[in-house]
Structure 1
């Protein structure tokens, strides 16, 4: 990962709750009413009656799970559970509102995220803006009266906007005290994820295998931005994807041996994921090198992640530099629009900025499989960036379900 980073902007995230009256607090929880958002191209999405009228329970898919005993790792089974219908409707509407915010001309919009409450509460949308929070009240008031919208104001974003890719955010934590976690050696075809892998320009973390049902293949995976190739400074997505293709990925080991893993077949800069065609003796990893090695059984879905948040459960990760950490989930379906000339959707915000240091990009966040809590993990998403400004502290990266929806791959 790059050693460069931007200077920290000043952010105000003061506690306090206000209505539509003027106040000194810049962190505002808005119970929105009115319809002036239509002037900005956003019709009212939903009324609160749609949420309050929901009753009973709704069945949701929480995970896609592979059968370890099957000879077909590309086949997955859906795992389901029942959730309160009112909570489900609240999360659904929050997702709609969140997407609408990204499409509108909200002044100073930097990003937003959905925050599901517990099963007795409704969902919230957290919005970050670079202007006075009060100036966006009227726009937000036209979107919905069904959920709360939290507005966080960042006063100085001169160093946030349009930095050349998320790799530029690395730094901020002294990594001199960390030693890379290299694979112990190559004694058989199987290796674990969570150890260091190496590109021509940097160390990153090797992720678990991604499976491609369409082609019947599996891939080594790490962060796309770990391949710091020339000619991609303007953030053009197709140019980055083309430049990364055919770049080599290798596996350094504790014995100073380096094993070639393969070359990049697919680069997906928006999701910040690179898939590498295997060559040589090693197979893409099917486990995580946690304190107790844990096999990967599948992945969380959108509502699987929302369920984890509603129950107040934590995610875990193993990075090549910082090792094993755990943390709470701060938001899902996050949209980030200040790292490149394009917005990144379907992001997870979790943990703290201390959970990701240079070299950890490409690692995954995971959750113990409820069907086999002592013998399996479900992947939540990738970890590729972290906050670097005062007032907020979390890691972010694309959710596994977003990768599946966009490209068909699954864990």
Structure 2
């Protein structure tokens, strides 16, 4: 029997108005409950026994008024970075529908980019409320959010905040000694420690993997190479207390919009999926967009280890954020978490992470890649690109 795609289980032909009828997948994502799903299967002549061909067995396992969402990609074998499997969680259907609508509204805002728009973020409500909102940052040039945007919101709360004096802002911080690795046992460099570019100091991130080529890379912030015309070919080194420094490799790929530089390793040193936290932790996978939304709904916090500020933690403030504050382009798929004191110069390149409750005690899931913090009045958070955005844009995973 051939595998049946879930979208094939509903007539795909457009109606007379030119609109395509909702597929079964569309109906699941907008809150179809288990009983309605079973009725739809029966009405279409499909037996429940073929559910595993449809990829909806998780949906059948949910209670009424719940839907399954993928919250993480996790390695089934911690020693095999390419053995990723989906982690499922059941969430209230009304909450899912509200958050999905907020994601759509946020994408519309980014595309519309009305005068004065500086960015926005989705803020899921808790599970009991079944709500979500979108927070929008605007400059003094913005008169109001366009009415067309508000009409599309359809029950999603919109909050706006006028942000002043972004241009020319500076990041002031108290000087701290960078976290320098004493030795490098086994020829692997853990993340959360200082690394050096030809022009500055940054934080080394955990191993970044390209499943297409099955390569592993060192990774840090692309802006740490700002003294060069092009980061490609620039060298990344690791200062050591027991020696002058070790060469990690050269930049093979640079992504300025995501602010990520992937460094191809030298033969003598390999990237590591361990983070040099107070109690070292191991990266076992990464969170998805709905995995981050789940953390917000449950009031959970992320952690990070930076070369200057060390280990800190903070609440997730917004997901799937759009950031247009500092450049002539917008960065999408961002995370906002913690406060402005959780990051400083030299911490860029660290990752935010969350404990993997289903893994070993030391296992964590990467949320995102820390690039900067707010320095303008009225807001306080760390921002950076999410792991799921790196996967969607470039295929990489942690």
Aligned to 2:189: 191
Question: Residues 228, 132 of structure 1: CA spacing in aligned structure 2 closer, same or farther, 3 A cutoff?
Answer: closer
Partner Cα distance (1:203, 1:229) in 2: 12
CA distance in structure 1 between the partners assigned to 2:135 and 2:159 by the alignment = 5
* Equivalent residue number for residue 351 of structure 1: 338
Match of 2:98 in 1: 90
The equivalent position to 1:65 in structure 2, one of 69, 74, 86, is 74
Instruction: Give CA deviations for 1:43-89 in whole Å, capped at 9, x if unaligned.
Output: xxxxxxx999765111111111113355x422211111110111111
Higher relative contact order (CA 8 A, sep 6+): 1
1:99 to 107, 127, 132: 107
| Compared CA separation, residues 361 and 69, structure 1 to 2 (3 A) | closer
Moved more, 287-296 or 336-345: 336-345
Contact 1:197 1:204 in 2 (8 A): yes
SS of the residue aligned with 2:186? coil
Q: Per-residue displacement from partner, 1:292-313 (whole Å, max 9, x unpaired)? A: 0011101011111111111001
Deviations 1:72-107 (A, max 9, x none): 422211111110111111111101100101111422
353, 361, 381: which is aligned to 2:368? 381
Distance 1:228 1:133, change over 3 A: closer
Task: Give SS of 1:142's match.
Answer: helix
SS state at 1:220 partner:
strand
Q: Distance between the aligned counterparts of 1:320 and 1:90, measured in 2?
A: 38
2:395 pairs with 1:408: yes
Out of 109, 116, 120, which is 2:128 matched to? 120
- Matching residue within 231, 254, 257 for 2:244: 257
Query: Matched residue of 1:389: which SS?
Result: coil
Pick one of 277, 281, 289 that aligns with 1:302.
Answer: 289
Q: Per the alignment, do residues 153 and 294 of structure 1 end up closer, same or farther by CA in structure 2, a change over 3 Å counting?
A: same
1:172 and 2:172 aligned? yes
Change (3 A) 1:278 1:294: same
The corresponding residue for 2:43 is none
Q: Mapping of 1:224-373 within 5 angstroms? A: 224-231=222-229, 243-372=230-359
1:351-385 per-residue CA deviation (whole Å, 9 max, x = no partner) reads: 00000011000000000001126220000001111
1:318-338 CA distance string (max 9 Å, x none): 000100000000000000112
Quick one: distance in 2 between partners of 1:296 and 1:126?
A: 31
Distance 1:54 1:132, change over 3 A: farther
Aligned to 2:147: 138
Query: Hey, what's the Cα distance between the residues in 2 that align with 1:258 and 1:105?
Result: 46
SS at match of 1:334: strand
Please state whether the residue corresponding to 2:249 is helix, strand or coil.
strand
Counterpart contact for 2:208–2:218, Cα < 8 Å: yes
| Distance in 2 between residues matched to 1:179 and 1:81, nearest whole Å | 41
Given that residues 93 and 146 in structure 1 are in contact (C-alpha distance below 8 angstroms), is that contact kept between their aligned partners in structure 2?
Answer: no
Aligned partner of residue 393 in structure 2, secondary structure: helix
Structure 1 residue ranges without an equivalent (≥5): 1-49, 161-168, 232-242
Aligned residues: 339
**2:239, 2:351 → 1: CA distance?**
19
Residue pair 1:107, 1:136 contacting (<8 A) in 2 also: no
| Larger CA Rg, structure 1 vs 2 | 2
| Conservation of the 8 A alpha-carbon contact between 1:51 and 1:146 | no
Residue of structure 1 equivalent to 2:215: 217
Change (3 A) 1:303 1:129: same
CA distance in 2, matches of 1:284, 1:170: 33
Partner of 1:150: 159
What secondary structure does 2:152 align onto? Answer: coil
User: TM-score when scaled to structure 2?
Assistant: 0.81
Please state how far the C-alpha of 1:286 moved relative to its aligned partner.
1.1
Q: Name the counterpart of 1:79.
A: 87
Alpha-carbon distance in 1 for matches of 2:222, 2:163: 28
**Secondary structure of the corresponding residue to residue 392 of structure 2:** helix
Between the aligned partners of 2:31 and 2:332, the Cα distance in structure 1 is 30
1:107–1:142 distance in 2 versus 1, CA, 3 Å: farther
Task: Give me the whole-angstrom Cα distance separating, in 2, the residues matched to 1:61 and 1:338.
Answer: 31
